[in-house]
Chain A
Amino acid sequence: MVTAEAHMSSTTSQPDAPAEGPQDAEPAIVARGLRRLYGEQGVHDLDLEVPAGSIFALIGPSGSGKSTTVRMMLGLETPEEGELRVLGSDPAAFSQEDRKRIGYMPQSMALYRDLSLRHNLHFAASLYGMPWRGRWARSDGGKAARSRVKDTLAFLGLTDSQGTRLRDASGGEQRRLGLAAALIHEPSLLVLDEPTSGIDPMLRREIWDRLRELRDQGVTIFVTTQYVEEAAHCDMVAILANGEPIVEDTPDGLRRRAFGDDPPAESTFDDVFVALLRRHEDEVRGKETGRERVLTTGEFAIPPDGDGGSTSTGADREEDDRA
């Protein structure tokens, strides 16, 4: 487990610097042939391998099965088929010790709306056995917890707003508090369900900076996102469409899969995503019409309209950012 000092004292690393040797360690998450369907939605045939100490992104449009995958990894849902190991354990049978090694940031704000940010963080800390230090019951454990809360608030830039009630906090403060609550007990695996949705570009960049710091300290980070360009911040990316993984690779690998060894100079990750998604759709259509067609890497051109389904593209992002 990563220490508090290590978490808080490191400096910002290079944006795209991969963690050293994550591939050598035992994978933090291994999924083989996972299936969990709700009618026509959910996931099926999901194979994943998340290297320890890396940032792994699961990207896909709404309803593609990202949240279902996260819920299975956390033991909130049980797979109908397949095998899943998280930190070496079956999530359906997580022990208390296993749970202490996992930090989770849900999509929605999941804490007490009438408590201040600091009180909420104390609450989250005490769920993991760190005493909620009061004015009248002082102890060494309480002092350590208080210090940990203080450091975490500072790490995420929440010191000035720590007294704000959650219901009065801005969207960015709420997301950062969610991240703080997931980090407070120093987990080795951080699962973040769309941590940057609905927040401004500056704050989004700050959050990615913090995530890279954590990655550099050895924390494995599994993140889902609709923002395709965020794939550039990750070590490994899997693209999910209609509950099925269509590709899993490094950001550079994805670029090569989309455009070959000589990608267009101005191509963005939106373009990569759209190209891969189109290729997948063609494959599916080909199978449905019986036209078996072998597609090779680099076969696709950049689509003129840049349409990538419901997933946010660069144009959408710019609009969001302006908003």
Chain B
Amino acid sequence: MRERLIRTGSFVRGELVTTLRQPRLLLALVFGPFLVLFVFGLGYEDQLPTLATVVVGADEDELTEQVDDYISRAEPAEIDYQGTTADADDAFRRLRNGDIDLVIVLPEGALASISASEQAVIEVHQRSLDPVTYYQVVIAAEFAINEINDDILEQVLGEAQEQTEGVEEQLAIAREELDAIRAALDEQDVAFVQRTAGQLAERFTELATTLESGGGFVAQLGFGGELDDVVVTLRQGAEQLDALTRIDAIAELDAAAVTLAEVDEVVTFVRSIDPAVAVRPFAADMYSATPVAVTLDRFYAPGLIALMLQHLGITFAALSLVREREAGTLDMLRIAPVTTGERLAGKSLAFLLLGSLTAVALTALSVFAFDVPLPADWLGYTLLVSLTLLASLGIGYLVASVSKTDSQAVQYCMLLLLAAIFFTGLFMPLERIGMPVEIVSWLLPATYGFLGLQHLMLLLQPAPSELSLGLLAIAVVTFGSARLLLPRRVA
């Protein structure tokens, strides 16, 4: 047993001293990734690119004017507005030439379509090769259309309020006339009643017309149901006043009073509401449930640590075995009383130690350079880092067992690094990777490391135990496979 430990220890010390004697390698391992992140952070534009935009619409068209007015007034951050034009062909030529990025084509006769209960479709044309910019255009277009819709609604509602401005005055006169009729009835002054009732009937008709002209468009857009009812009631009231002398006058007067009260209530409501609130009744305020604000740097820092641990583990493990084979060391080791298990154990211990030191250095840099919080659970952090390294070492040994040469092993390591960038959630969220491709993500230790470090350093929670179990499973399978395959490769 003692000799076994000595033999295993010889590999630990051999690999440690060999690596520590290459300070540039260590510096590149620790500082390299952070230098990349730092330079990326320096050059990264937080804002989306600005899109040179032209609006195509008919001259002197109401919608064209409204859109032009809206864009000029709102000045959306991602839009570099180049004005409107009626020449669609010219706009498209400029788009093809790359002079502009976006062409918005407004429909002809938009208001007529809306009046006919049909949506007016605004076309948005872009020519970017960048899918991110494409999605930016899609989102910006949807946002702009919503804004234009809201803007038009707001304007219409405001105009309706202006047009109903005289209604309150007319209502007051109508009430006075109603009281006068009621007094004439008490005095049985039939002539007065009939004359005044006729005037009141005309006033009701005027009120109905005013409300119709001011609120009709509002009603068409679905905001004026009650106004419609009131207009109908007013017209019925006018007819009833005409027939006042032929039927129960008192009852008709009561009905007319009720009608006036309804009109008053509705008009008061319509005039009291803020058009901006009416068209945008809800607003959103964003609150983050994460303990710290997750900036781009903070998001990428744990991912970078996981990525580097995987790369370090795989590369060191694979190259150490392949180089032994190429240099002839393996023959010497096969003749010595050393088993493959002792060799793998010794190398693994050395690389675990080196990898852990690298992880600590990377974590310290994350904390000090990018203000990432310290891990919430140090035991969990140690376990996660160790298992990520162990699983990566297992994959590295597997790579060595299927590689014939040094350069072949390097190629496999680079492929695995590329896979880690795409499939671990660093490039895009794991949720957006569908099955069965998602299996690739779960075969990479960096996926588990990234998720675990996000829990520990960004959510300040312990990492889920499933992550450790997953890493352990990868380690067991890869070490077992490498243990079986390595002697065969040598033979």
Question: A-side interface residues toward B, CB under 8 Å?
Answer: 71, 74-76, 96-97, 99-100, 102, 104, 106-115, 119, 122-124, 126-132, 134, 165, 181
User: Is B277 among interface residues, defined by CB-CB distance under 8 A?
Assistant: no
Beta-carbon contact of B13 and A132 below 8 Å: yes
Chain B residues closer than 8 Å to A75, beta-carbon distance: 334-335
Beta-carbon contact of A129 and B332 below 8 Å: no
Partner of A104, one of B3, B9, B18, B335: B335
Name the segment of B75-83, B323-331, B432-440 touching the other chain: B323-331
Beta-carbon contact of B335 and A99 below 8 Å: yes
> Per-residue CB proximity of B335-350 to A under 8 Å, as 1/0?
1111000000000000
| In the complex with contacts A127-B336, A132-B6, A106-B328 CB distance below 8 A | yes
User: Is B21 among interface residues, defined by CB-CB distance under 8 A?
Assistant: yes
User: Is B175 among interface residues, defined by CB-CB distance under 8 A?
Assistant: no
Beta-carbon contact of A127 and B18 below 8 Å: no
| In the complex with contacts A76-B335, A127-B333, A132-B328 CB distance below 8 A | no
**Bound: A134/B336 CA distance, A:** 22
- List 13 A-B residue pairs with CB atoms under 8 Å apart, sorted by A's residue number: A71-B331, A74-B334, A96-B337, A99-B335, A113-B327, A122-B10, A123-B13, A124-B332, A126-B6, A126-B10, A132-B6, A132-B9, A181-B332
Beta-carbon contact of B18 and A129 below 8 Å: no
User: Is B17 among interface residues, defined by CB-CB distance under 8 A?
Assistant: yes
**Bound: A115/B10 CA distance, A:** 13
Cβ-closest chain B residue relative to A97: B337
**Bound: A71/B7 CA distance, A:** 23
Beta-carbon contact of B9 and A126 below 8 Å: yes
Beta-carbon contact of B14 and A107 below 8 Å: no
Chain A residues closer than 8 Å to B22, beta-carbon distance: 114
| In the complex with contacts A99-B336, A127-B333, A132-B21 CB distance below 8 A | no
Chain B residues closer than 8 Å to A107, beta-carbon distance: 328
Cβ-closest chain A residue relative to B20: A114
Main secondary structure of the interface of A (DSSP, over half): loop
Nearest 9 CB-CB pairings of A with B: A126-B10, A129-B3, A96-B337, A110-B328, A127-B336, A99-B337, A110-B329, A108-B328, A114-B18
**Bound: A110/B334 CA distance, A:** 12
Chain A residues closer than 8 Å to B18, beta-carbon distance: 112, 114-115
B interface residues, tally (CB under 8 Å):
23
Chain B residues closer than 8 Å to A96, beta-carbon distance: 337
Interface centre among B10, B21, B22 (most CB of A within 10 A): B10
Chain B residues closer than 8 Å to A97, beta-carbon distance: 337
| Closest CB in chain A relative to B337 CB, distance in Å | 4
Cβ-closest chain A residue relative to B323: A113
Cβ-closest chain A residue relative to B13: A132
| In the complex with contacts A112-B18, A127-B10, A131-B6, A100-B337 CB distance below 8 A | yes
| Closest CB in chain A relative to B459 CB, distance in Å | 40
> Per-residue CB proximity of B1-38 to A under 8 Å, as 1/0?
01100110110011001100110000000000000000
Main secondary structure of the interface of B (DSSP, over half): helix
Beta-carbon contact of B336 and A115 below 8 Å: no
**Bound: A119/B14 CA distance, A:** 8
Beta-carbon contact of B329 and A114 below 8 Å: no
| In the complex with contacts A106-B328, A107-B328, A111-B329, A129-B7 CB distance below 8 A | yes
**Bound: A102/B331 CA distance, A:** 13
Chain B residues closer than 8 Å to A128, beta-carbon distance: 336-337
| In the complex with contacts A76-B335, A132-B13, A181-B332, A108-B21 CB distance below 8 A | no
**Bound: A157/B336 CA distance, A:** 24
- Total number of residue pairs linking A and B with CB closer than 8 Å: 84
Beta-carbon contact of B9 and A106 below 8 Å: no
| In the complex with contacts A114-B18, A114-B21, A114-B22, A127-B337 CB distance below 8 A | yes
Partner of B17, one of A71, A102, A119, A126: A119
Of residues 176 through 210 on chain B, the ones whose CB sits less than 8 Å from some CB of chain A are: none
**Bound: A111/B327 CA distance, A:** 8
**Bound: A63/B21 CA distance, A:** 38
Beta-carbon contact of A112 and B14 below 8 Å: yes
| Closest CB in chain A relative to B59 CB, distance in Å | 78
**Bound: A76/B6 CA distance, A:** 24
Beta-carbon contact of A76 and B331 below 8 Å: yes
**Bound: A129/B7 CA distance, A:** 6
Chain B residues closer than 8 Å to A99, beta-carbon distance: 335-337
**Bound: A109/B337 CA distance, A:** 19
| Closest CB in chain A relative to B315 CB, distance in Å | 16
Chain A residues closer than 8 Å to B3, beta-carbon distance: 129
**Bound: A134/B22 CA distance, A:** 20
Partner of B7, one of A109, A111, A126: A126
Chain A residues closer than 8 Å to B334, beta-carbon distance: 74-76
Beta-carbon contact of A129 and B13 below 8 Å: no
Chain B residues closer than 8 Å to A112, beta-carbon distance: 14, 17-18, 329
| In the complex with contacts A127-B337, A127-B338, A110-B332 CB distance below 8 A | yes
**Bound: A132/B15 CA distance, A:** 13
Partner of B331, one of A106, A127, A165: A106
**Bound: A102/B337 CA distance, A:** 10
15 more CB-based (< 8 A) A-B contacts, given A74-B334, A114-B22, A129-B3: A75-B334, A76-B331, A99-B336, A107-B328, A109-B327, A110-B328, A111-B332, A113-B327, A119-B17, A122-B13, A123-B14, A124-B336, A129-B2, A129-B7, A132-B6
Chain A residues closer than 8 Å to B21, beta-carbon distance: 114-115, 165
Of residues 53 through 88 on chain B, the ones whose CB sits less than 8 Å from some CB of chain A are: none
| Closest CB in chain B relative to A188 CB, distance in Å | 14
**Bound: A74/B330 CA distance, A:** 13
Chain A residues closer than 8 Å to B2, beta-carbon distance: 129
Chain B residues closer than 8 Å to A165, beta-carbon distance: 21
**Bound: A135/B335 CA distance, A:** 29
| Closest CB in chain A relative to B383 CB, distance in Å | 27
**Bound: A165/B18 CA distance, A:** 10
Beta-carbon contact of A104 and B331 below 8 Å: yes
Chain B residues closer than 8 Å to A106, beta-carbon distance: 328, 331-332
**Bound: A165/B334 CA distance, A:** 24
**Bound: A114/B336 CA distance, A:** 21
Chain B residues closer than 8 Å to A108, beta-carbon distance: 327-328
**Bound: A104/B2 CA distance, A:** 24
**Bound: A109/B332 CA distance, A:** 10
Chain A residues closer than 8 Å to B10, beta-carbon distance: 122-123, 126-127, 132
Chain B residues closer than 8 Å to A122, beta-carbon distance: 10, 13
**Bound: A31/B333 CA distance, A:** 24
